[in-house]
Amino acid sequence: FSAGITMPYEVHLAVNLINEILGSTQLYNFSNCEALQMSLSSKEDLKGLIGRMNSGMVDVLIHFNSNPVYHLPLDYGYAKAAEKVPTLISMLESPNESLLNSKYVFAVNNALESWGDFKLRNGIISTQQPIIAPIHDTRQKEAILLNWIQDDVTKYTHDIYHKYIMENWRNNIFPVLGKGIDFNSFWYSLLHDGVVDFNEPAPVKSEFNSISITNLKNVPESGITVILTPAQYLKDGKQANNGWLQEIPHPVSKVVWDNCASISPATAKKYDLHYAEDNNDKVTDVIEIDVNGSKLKMPIFIQPGMVDNIVAVELGYGRTVAGEIGSNVGTNANILMTSGGNISDWIYTGAKITKTGEQSELISTQEHHSLDDKFVKDIHRKRHIIEDYSIPFYARFEENYSTMKKKLEDKYKDNPEELKKELKKIKLHLLGKHEYSLHTIYPLHEYTGVKWAMAIDMNKCTACGVCVASCNVENNIPVVGKEQVGRGREMHWMRIDTYFSGTPEEPITSLQPMLCQHCDKAPCENVCPVVATSHSPDGLNQMTYNRCVGTRYCANNCPFKVRRFNFFDFRDHLSDGYYRKDTLELLNNPEVTVRTRGVMEKCTFCVQRIQEARQDAVKQGRTILGTDVKTACQDACPASAITFGDMNDPKSDVSNFREHPLGYMVLESLNVRPNVTYIAKLRNINPDEEVHGGHH
């Protein structure tokens, strides 16, 4: 178990005690723990600094790529104290709220343009080197400081910090490592590898101090509890000007370009709060949150499964100086924080909420029906969009399936094809599923070589959205803006669908990454009048952009709704052509066509990576293998939930997943033969509440 950063000190102590009782301390890593080069600033340090600023004792203050005016609670009074500093210097990558009173502002390098070295873990030092020369007339912030302390500041050179790091390694670090080679050979090897391991005395193994828990006290609850959390994608708001991050739907609410006050259905009913869904828009009531006199108005979001009398609010929004994309997006919830904290710096009890009578509009990429609506209740299970099973049920299935399989293997030992058919029937019967007898007027594609396919393990997927972000970056997917998302025109080739079943108070949440399924009998292909979408010999559902005339018949005929249409040249349409700037054009992946308006687009299984692997295989005089290619979403997934490869290779992982008892295809009854296999989720629930066969 672990406690998050928002939890108070007492909770961390309690969690440590639980780990001691359960024996979980065996998982602690004492030999390679976090290494801090200097202690972090405390509240007392900040208050002391601000006090000296107010007293006129600070002549020079440097904002070192930081934004204290925005991040610090208002009752610190930092902004007013900064006005009393004669020389305020800001070194920033991009404008922020803290530069407004600065006497000097220095534009500094981005991390990708900078040198550096880091020691974050014991026994490991990593290096940072620029992958691109500075695009603008900027300097690295460390280089600015080194230049200032020189005797002659006019002798600045662009590699001043690079030389400083190299000499520091030569004189202070390299002699201790005892590598037995000359420094230059070691240095270039270090730059190649990026890290160096060295023997360092392990930190003293700490023991749990049982005395620390003797004075733990429960915090009395009163009124509403407000929980402030870093934004899912913007975190503390530094990345607010990144349109890709603003437009990734929140993994729970699916809200984009905004933050909101999430409350439970019961709390909403208690305070007479409502919202009405209209397509992707939620016209919602606005509440005023009062935390110890600090007041903030925010739109509400009614979230099934939330604890009653809790209001959860994300930080990182409400920036006023954040560039063309990030300024004035959402609400700045930092003003609810106080320097003294409450339960913790992020959790405040004794708050009040009041219905203001005002309304606001939240833009969401997914509608949700009422969990009390009998007509559509559990429709995702009934239609086998989502399948999950309880662990006890699956254990019984495996036992029965193994017994029957053993009997049939003797009976059909001379007829493997018949054995395969019989085993499939038994599998479907034991899982409570149907076997569909389906026919088609279209001939089946034959694949004699590689056939590309994907498998997604729902037991690993956490719905973090990293796959969506990676797909956006890899495939030059444009940012469309809040207004166009409200019209249902987001361009994401991947999405994370959320389904609820159960009750609003105790919902069962199901999450599912959804992308083009690359169907063998794709419904989109036979309706395109210009054959812009077609099937490749290796199983890809292809898009030929320069042939597409935008009839959108394919999108209407797609049962998975994974096709996107460029209603505008969104790069030019958004924020007066913000993404047409020369520097932002450099973001585009040169291996992928930049689409303009009027064409359909969708997931391509990263065909550009497939083509690159095929070219490499030709150079090496061999045929391409399924293991040669990794898609962007597969590469980025932190849980390794996505597998990609050759389905025709019986030894490949994706082929094994295809035959896995938990493997299923979405909407299999349509007989479109998807090439994406989902591995059903196993839930550790009470056997009396078993979920099996996609049904309760």
Given a contact cutoff of 8 angstroms between Cβ atoms, the answer to whether 98 and 71 are in contact is: no
With 80 as the cut, is the pLDDT of residue 167 above it? yes
Confidence at 6, pLDDT banded by 50, 70, 90: confident
Tens-place pLDDT, residues 362-397: 898 887 666 566 767 777 887 888 888 888 888 888
Rg (CA), the chain: 29
pLDDT of residue 670: 86
Q: Residue holding tokens 């208050």?
A: 47
| Distance (Å) of CA 84 to CA 57, 98, 300, 434 | 9, 14, 39, 75
Confidence at 689, pLDDT banded by 50, 70, 90: low
Q: What is the mean pLDDT of residues 68-86?
A: 92
Comparison of pLDDT for 218 and 192, the residue scoring more:
192
- Reading the block at residue 370, the tokens are 């009422």
Tell me the angle at which helices 391-411 and 416-430 cross, rounded to the nearest 10 degrees: 150
Least confident of 221-235, 432-446, 610-624: 432-446
With 60 as the cut, is the pLDDT of residue 695 above it? no
Percent of the chain whose pLDDT exceeds 90: 49
Tens-place pLDDT, residues 426-483: 888 888 777 776 677 777 778 888 999 999 999 999 999 999 999 999 999 999 999 9
pLDDT of residue 696: 40
CA distance 474 to 606: 8
Confidence at 279, pLDDT banded by 50, 70, 90: low
Q: What is the mean pLDDT of residues 306-328?
A: 92
Given a contact cutoff of 8 angstroms between Cβ atoms, the answer to whether 522 and 540 are in contact is: no
CA distance 685 to 329: 41
Confidence at 560, pLDDT banded by 50, 70, 90: very high
Sheet of strand 124-128: strand arrangement:
116-121, 124-128, 195-197
Confidence at 276, pLDDT banded by 50, 70, 90: confident
Least confident of 41-55, 239-253, 381-395, 453-467: 381-395
H/E element, 282: strand 281-291
CA distance 482 to 256: 7
CA distance 644 to 658: 11
CA distance 226 to 288: 12
pLDDT of residue 100: 82
Q: What is the mean pLDDT of residues 322-343?
A: 90
Comparison of pLDDT for 3 and 536, the residue scoring more:
536
**Strand stretches in 590-648, DSSP E:** 600-601, 642-646
Percent of the chain whose pLDDT exceeds 70: 96
pLDDT of residue 509: 87
Tens-place pLDDT, residues 481-534: 999 998 889 999 999 998 888 887 788 888 999 999 999 989 999 899 999 999
- Residue 645, judged by CB atoms within 10 A of its CB (0-12, 13-18, 19+), counts as buried
Given a contact cutoff of 8 angstroms between Cβ atoms, the answer to whether 626 and 430 are in contact is: no
> What integer best gives the mean pLDDT of the chain?
87
How does strand 275-278 pair with strand 281-291?
Answer: antiparallel
Least confident of 36-45, 226-235, 288-297: 36-45
CA distance 290 to 309: 14
Give the residues across from 117 on adjacent strands: 127
Residue 92: what are its φ and ψ, rounded to 5°? -135, 150
pLDDT of residue 370: 62
Q: Secondary structure of the chain: what % helix, strand, coil (to 5)? A: 30, 20, 50
Given a contact cutoff of 8 angstroms between Cβ atoms, the answer to whether 50 and 76 are in contact is: yes
Q: What angle do CA 282, 599, 567 make, to 5 degrees?
A: 35
Tens-place pLDDT, residues 657-670: 988 888 889 988 88
Reduce the DSSP state of residue 554 to 3 states and report it.
helix
Q: What is the mean pLDDT of residues 10-14?
A: 87
pLDDT of residue 690: 53
Q: What is the mean pLDDT of residues 685-694?
A: 55
Reduce the DSSP state of residue 218 to 3 states and report it.
coil
With 80 as the cut, is the pLDDT of residue 33 above it? no
With 90 as the cut, is the pLDDT of residue 676 above it? yes
H/E element, 229: strand 224-229
How does strand 564-565 pair with strand 224-229?
Answer: unpaired
pLDDT of residue 53: 94
Given a contact cutoff of 8 angstroms between Cβ atoms, the answer to whether 120 and 135 are in contact is: no
Confidence at 355, pLDDT banded by 50, 70, 90: very high
